[in-house]
């Protein structure tokens, strides 16, 4: 038995995987969008399962209050404001250096999602907001890519495999996003780490299952199932879904999120007292020059991937692609003004 087979021998011994399935995992190309609580755990599980290529996409950095539930990261990552994509790639390479890792520090938008999903076999959702989920759904239906949706708040979560033209899509499940106040968030409702691990592992299992069963299962016969968990009460339910007749996405092939009709240039981050500011594509910020300019004006933290500037009650975090997070306000107009003052128009 070679080193690869020896490493995965117990997984290979599981008949639904076997040698052929393990080979398919090694050849699989998976994108994990969002590397927070769910996504970082998903990326680790898939690496340990032997997935050969992982594209790791996240716009954010590691913070201290991430550590109770985002088990891939360390205190060092939080203290040095490591970007999640780069930190995840570093830790995953230590787990299995044969896995090809492609970390991308960027926000997923209608302008770049097609490029981000090029050459990918399946997408796994680690995001925490509905706009990006609808965007992923639009892109995957348009491109014919399967994706695994997942979400969790408190100790309640859900997950499902979505295969365009074969299962219900995300807009069949939720035609419109619920109001933010109705949906709740991890900041307002809380979330517990063990529950995150269950949902992320379930998503990883769905992705693994899809990869190894491509060889012998007709996708039209795969059930369209949403699994819903209330883990505090120990309740697990399976809900059979059907494609909605005249669904604007999977039936009518209308993709408003992919076309940018619902994108925003300043997005309020629910429960974080912060606004994310976007700039036109093609804009680049020279982080060293920006840090040098700001040092005499307030507290500055500089890394190869971001500059964090704090003054009075406001913190501005700027990335090389021009995107910024403005902490200390939930007013988009104020956030834009702060950005223009310290970074430029």
What span, in angstroms and rounded, lies between the C-alpha atoms of 146 and 9?
28
Q: Do β-strands 147-153 and 122-125 pair in parallel, antiparallel, or remain unpaired?
A: parallel
With H, G, I as helix, E, B as strand and everything else as coil, classify residue 269: strand
- CA dist 280 and 323 (Å) reads 9
What was the pLDDT predicted at 88? 98
Residues paired with 135 in a beta bridge: none
Q: Are 305 and 320 in contact (CB under 8 A)?
A: yes
Phi first, then psi, for residue 114 (nearest 5°) are -60, -45
Q: Let me know: does 82 contact 303? Beta carbons within 8 Å.
A: yes
| Residue ranges for the chain with pLDDT beneath 70 | 1, 179-188, 215-221, 264, 270, 280-283, 345
pLDDT at 181: 45
64 by Cβ neighbours in 10 Å (0-12 / 13-18 / 19+) ranks as exposed
CATH number for the region 266-342 comes to: 3.30.310
Residue (of 88, 105, 68) closest to 186 by Cα position: 68
**Strands 156-162 and 147-153: what pairing?**
antiparallel
Give SS3 for 51.
coil
Residue linked to tokens 């500011």 = 277
The SS3 of residue 16 is coil
User: What gap in Å lies between CA 344 and CA 174, rounded to an integer?
Assistant: 39
Q: What is the pLDDT of residues 66-78, one digit of tens each?
A: 999 999 999 999 9
pLDDT of the residue at 268: 81
Helix or strand run (H / E) with residue 292 = helix 287-294
Catalytic residues: 186
* Domain extents in the chain: 3-240, 266-342
According to DSSP, the residues that pair with 31 across neighbouring strands are 55, 123
What SS3 class is residue 49? helix
Residue 266: closest CA among 274, 258, 257, 275: 275
Residue 163 to residue 165: CA distance in whole angstroms = 6
Structure tokens of 97? 């250096």
Q: What is the pLDDT of residue 179?
A: 58
Residue 173 is predicted with a pLDDT of 93
Give me the pLDDT at residue 151, please.
Answer: 94
Residue 129 phi/psi, 5° resolution?
A: -145, 150
CATH number of the 3-240 domain: 3.40.50.720
**What is the distance of C-alpha 186 from the center of its chain?**
15
Secondary structure letter of residue 65 according to DSSP: G
């Amino acid at each position: 038995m070679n080193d690869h087979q020896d490493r995965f021998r117990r997984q290979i011994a599981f008949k639904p995987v076997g040698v052929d399935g393990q080979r398919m995992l090694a050849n699989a190309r998976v994108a994990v969008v969002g590397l927070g609580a769910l996504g970082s755990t998903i990326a680790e599980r898939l690496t340990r399962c032997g997935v050969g290529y992982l594209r790791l996409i996240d716009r954010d950095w590691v913070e201290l209050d991430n550590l109770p539930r985002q088990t891939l990261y360390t205190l060092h990552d939080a203290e040095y404001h490591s970007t999640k994509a780069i930190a995840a790639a570093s830790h995953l390479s230590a787990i299995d250096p044969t896995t090809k890792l492609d970390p991308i520090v960027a926000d997923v938008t209608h302008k770049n999602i097609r490029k981000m999903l090029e050459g990918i076999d399946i997408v796994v959702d680690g995001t925490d907001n509905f706009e990006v989920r609808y965007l992923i759904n639009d892109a995957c239906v348009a491109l014919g890519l399967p994706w695994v949706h997942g979400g969790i708040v408190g100790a309640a979560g859900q997950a499902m495999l979505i295969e365009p033209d074969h299962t219900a899509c995300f807009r069949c499940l939720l035609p419109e996003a619920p109001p933010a106040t109705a949906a709740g968030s991890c900041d307002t409702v809380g979330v517990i780490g063990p529950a995150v691990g269950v949902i992320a592992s379930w998503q990883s299992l769905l992705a693994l299952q899809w990869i190894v069963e491509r060889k012998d299962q007709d996708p039209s016969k795969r059930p369209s199932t949403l699994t819903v968990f209330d883990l505090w009460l120990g309740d697990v339910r399976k809900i059979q879904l059907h494609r909605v007749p005249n669904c604007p996405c999977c039936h009518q092939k209308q993709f408003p999120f992919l076309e940018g009709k619902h994108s925003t240039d300043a997005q309020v981050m629910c429960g974080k007292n912060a606004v994310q500011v976007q700039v036109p594509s093609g804009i680049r910020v020279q982080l060293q020059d920006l840090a040098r300019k700001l040092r005499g004006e307030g507290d500055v933290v500089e890394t190869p991937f971001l500059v964090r500037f704090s003054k009075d009650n406001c913190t501005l975090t700027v990335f090389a692609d021009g995107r910024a997070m403005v902490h200390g306000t939930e007013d988009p107009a104020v956030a834009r003004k702060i950005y223009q003052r310290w970074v430029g128009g």
